[in-house]
Structure 1
Amino acid sequence: MSKTRGPISQFIERNYLHFNAAALVDAAKGYETHLDEGGKMLVSLAGAMSTAELGISLAEMIRQDKVAIISCTGANLEEDVMNLVAHSHYKRVPHYRDLSPQEEWDLLENHYNRVTDTCIPEEEAFRRLQSHLVKVWRDAEERGERYFPHEFLYQVVRSGELEQYYEIDPKNSWIVAAAEKNIPIVVPGWEDSTTGNIFTSYVIKGELKASTVKSGIEYMVYLTEWYRANSGGKGVGFFQIGGGIAGDFPICVVPMMYQDLEWHDVPFWAYFCQISDSTTSYGSYSGAVPNEKITWGKLDINTPKYIVESDATIVAPLIFAWILGQ
């Protein structure tokens, strides 16, 4: 399907001709072809992509139905909203490589948590969000209801109570876009995020029940049901940013159904791309080449496979710009 290309796409097409640059173009064209042929796409977010403000491009991808489902860490789930409500309080440290242990300690003492060159302000970000989350957790428990971590965050965003704090244009928040579209999100290992830690503290104090927030096993069941309902026709593709649990967890839903449930009508993932700057190696999931996933029953021999060995904060917005025709 031909489309009018904007200046970013024209620049990419003219200059990105070899090596990782060419892999970027191939992956973007493959993503586009998959959608044009009726396929759906899962995007997984590892690392600190929300703090890197991926929402500027990802939100528009969600609004234009270029993303059907997201798998992300608890950090990426919460940090997009933290950026939304506390952006002006973030502190950038361009010389982060030169910080001494004492300077790092001083940041902690001033309630700044550093992610590479960007410090998240504890009071304005974590605590501002905390009071609203605690309210929806308690309300659900009083009603005898249980929800997933992303569903609780959707409730807070949809309530409008955070709008008083908005410090960026909400169109640049991927969580706001996802909540408006009500797209499914899978958040494996949510417990290790800041909001997961906060919830745990209330459980330890006896103020909330652990069962009020649905578990990782329930997320796998939820993903299984979604995949079964959406993998017909062209199928579901897998666009993985980084490595780790955000990618590990959802990709294994296919071999789980095929091998453990013995459902032999389960389609493989229909497209695969990973952006990673991890060194390609054996024994390192993030550095494993896509072909290795064939032996695990995740990808088919004929699944289009791409790997872009570069920084996802640079690569992902460019691929998204291509798909959006920018």
Structure 2
Amino acid sequence: MTRGPISKFMEKHYLHFNAAAMMDAAKAYEVHLAEGGKMMITLAGAMSTGELGISLAEMIRNDKVQIISCTGANLEEDLMNLVAHSHYKRVPNYRDLTPKEEWDLLEKGLNRVTDTCIPEEEAFRRLQKHIYELWKDADTKGERYFPHEYMYKMILSGVLEQYYEIDPKNSWMIAAAEKNLPIIVPGWEDS
């Protein structure tokens, strides 16, 4: 396998302690895939809001991930980043916010996820009208789908393209939809 500059750097410098353990894991992952093994990635926390899609989407496109288990929030937040990125507000001092400052963000329609505020109107509402139509249509027809299947239908229909604010290659949900990757979303209602 041809090594890129990051792999070469890591092989030269990541020789001991946790860095060496990470290299051992990376090599085992490489062998696992080379021998035909499948990989499941699990996402929890604000991974999508933290723009994990930049690296995960490429891994999906390169067949390095075959199934994902994640929170419902990670499904939604990747799409929110896709359609409302320029409206996000970073709050670097989020640990020091007073209750009044938290309330002010909420009043402005900014939903805080750690150091990043997701804008209610530009993110949630842009998705809401389209996902609602899919839910309503399925209900009328007596059909049922998994949460990610609704998202895939919305992505693949093209209705969101008018709102794209990031390069779609950086959306792990687009990459997953294009591969029809199975996604397990335990606790969908809790997200």
Q: Distance in 2 between matches of 1:126 and 1:21?
A: 39
Give ranges in structure 1 of 5+ residues lacking alignment: 194-326
| AA aligned opposite 2:21 | A
Deviation at 1:161, TM superposition (A): 0.2
Q: Distance in 2 between matches of 1:68 and 1:43?
A: 8
Deviation at 1:159, TM superposition (A): 0.6
- Find the counterpart in structure 2 of residue 105 from structure 1: 103
| AA aligned opposite 1:156 | M
Q: How does 1:226-241 map to 2 (within 5 A)?
A: none
Deviation at 1:51, TM superposition (A): 0.6
- Find the counterpart in structure 2 of residue 117 from structure 1: 115
- Find the counterpart in structure 1 of residue 126 from structure 2: 128
CA deviations over 1:177-229 (Å, ceiling 9, x no partner): 00001111111101012xxxxxxxxxxxxxxxxxxxxxxxxxxxxxxxxxxxx
- Find the counterpart in structure 2 of residue 211 from structure 1: none
Deviation at 1:12, TM superposition (A): 1.2
Q: Distance in 2 between matches of 1:130 and 1:24?
A: 40
RMSD: 0.9
Q: How does 1:197-236 map to 2 (within 5 A)?
A: none
Q: Distance in 2 between matches of 1:12 and 1:116?
A: 30
- Find the counterpart in structure 2 of residue 22 from structure 1: 20
Deviation at 1:101, TM superposition (A): 1.4
Indicate which of 154, 160, 163 corresponds to 2:161: 163
Other structure's SS at 2:39 match: strand
| AA aligned opposite 1:52 | G
Q: Distance in 1 between matches of 2:93 and 2:4?
A: 35
Deviation at 1:114, TM superposition (A): 1.1
Q: How does 1:89-104 map to 2 (within 5 A)?
A: 89-104=87-102
Q: Distance in 2 between matches of 1:121 and 1:20?
A: 38
Q: Distance in 1 between matches of 2:24 and 2:47?
A: 22
Q: Distance in 2 between matches of 1:48 and 1:179?
A: 20
Q: State the aligned residue count.
A: 191
CA deviations over 1:42-69 (Å, ceiling 9, x no partner): 1111111111111111111111111111
CA deviations over 1:1-51 (Å, ceiling 9, x no partner): xx2211111111111112221121111111111001110011111111111
Q: How does 1:1-326 map to 2 (within 5 A)?
A: 3-193=1-191
Q: Distance in 2 between matches of 1:104 and 1:22?
A: 41
Q: Structure 1 length normalisation: TM-score? A: 0.58
| AA aligned opposite 1:121 | P
Q: Distance in 2 between matches of 1:20 and 1:49?
A: 22
Deviation at 1:127, TM superposition (A): 1.3
Larger gyration radius, structure 1 or structure 2: 1
Q: Distance in 2 between matches of 1:97 and 1:36?
A: 43
Other structure's SS at 1:40 match: coil
Q: Structure 2 length normalisation: TM-score? A: 0.97
Other structure's SS at 1:44 match: strand
Q: Distance in 1 between matches of 2:148 and 2:76?
A: 9
Q: Distance in 1 between matches of 2:138 and 2:60?
A: 28
Runs of 4+ in 1 over 3 A off after TM superposition: none
Q: Distance in 1 between matches of 2:97 and 2:14?
A: 36
Deviation at 1:116, TM superposition (A): 1.3
Give ranges in structure 2 of 5+ residues lacking alignment: none
Larger relative helix fraction: 2
